Amino acid sequence: MKRLFLTAVTASLLSSAFLISVPAAQAEEATYKLVLLRHGESQWNLEKRFTGWSDIDLTDKGRAGAVKAGEIMKGAGVNFDEVHTSKLNRAIETAQLAQKGMSAQWVPLQKYWRLNERCYGDLEGKKREDVAKEVGDDQVKIWRRSFDVPPPPLAVTDARSPVKDPRYADLDPRVIPASESLKDVIARVGPYWTDQLRPAIKPEFGRIW
C-alpha cells in the first residue's frame, strides 16, 4: 500500500485535514491513501491578515495543533511512505511537527513550490477589515471567492515580492505569481499532480493516463 501525506496544500483549496482513500486498479487488492493537512495557525491567521506567499511563522497554538494532528493519525494507525509540503516555513514546520506526533520523523519530506498557498498580491500583510473599509466588503469577497478575478498584483520591486527569494532562485521569474485567482492556483498545482504526486501514488498512472 502506497501512502502519502501532504501538508498545507494551497489554503485556497483546503480548509481542513481529511483522508482520501483511492481504490487501486480492479486487478489489485491494495489501496492508495492520501492525507491532506492544512498548516497550523500562523501569526497572520491570528491577526486576520492576508498571507499568501509571505513566510509567516506558526503560533504556539498552530504548533500544538500540528503535533496533535500527528498524534491523532498515529492513534488511527495511519502511516506514510512520503511527506510532501510547500516551500513555506509554516507548512514545513506543520509537516515536521505532525511527523513528530506520529513518531515518524524518518519518513522522507519533499518540498514543492507548486504547493504554496495562493498568492494574494498587493493584499499580502494587510488586515482583512482594513481592506474591506478601503474597497468594500463586496470587492473583498470577489477577490477571495471568485474563480477568475485575482487581487491587485505585487510589483516586482515590492519588498513583499517573492521573485528575489532564494528558495525560488531556480525558477524562471515569469512563473512566480504576482497575484493569483483560484483559476491560477489550479493551473499552478496541475503540473505537481501530473509530475510528482500521481506517479508517487501509483507509478502506473504515468503509463495509463
Following DSSP, what letter does each residue of 5-43 receive, concatenated? Answer: EEES--TTT-SS-EEEEEE--TT---EEEEEEEPPPPBH
Which positions ≥6 away from 181 have C-beta within 8 Å? 146, 147, 148, 149, 150
> Looking at 41, 93, 117, 180, which residue is catalytic?
117
159: left (phi over 0), alpha (psi -120 to 50) or beta: alpha
Query: If you ran DSSP here, which 8-state letter would residue 200 be given?
Result: H
Query: If you ran DSSP here, which 8-state letter would residue 87 be given?
Result: S
Which positions ≥6 away from 117 have C-beta within 8 Å? 8, 10, 11, 12, 51, 52, 53, 86, 88, 91
| Residue 84 known to be catalytic | no
User: Cα separation of 8 and 84, whole Å?
Assistant: 9
> Looking at 39, 84, 93, 124, which residue is catalytic?
39
Cell numbers describing residue 88: 513555506
149: left (phi over 0), alpha (psi -120 to 50) or beta: beta
| Residue 93 known to be catalytic | no
Neighbour-count burial of 151, counting CB atoms closer than 10 A to its CB (0-12 exposed, 13-18 middle, 19+ buried): buried
Catalytic machinery residues: 39, 117
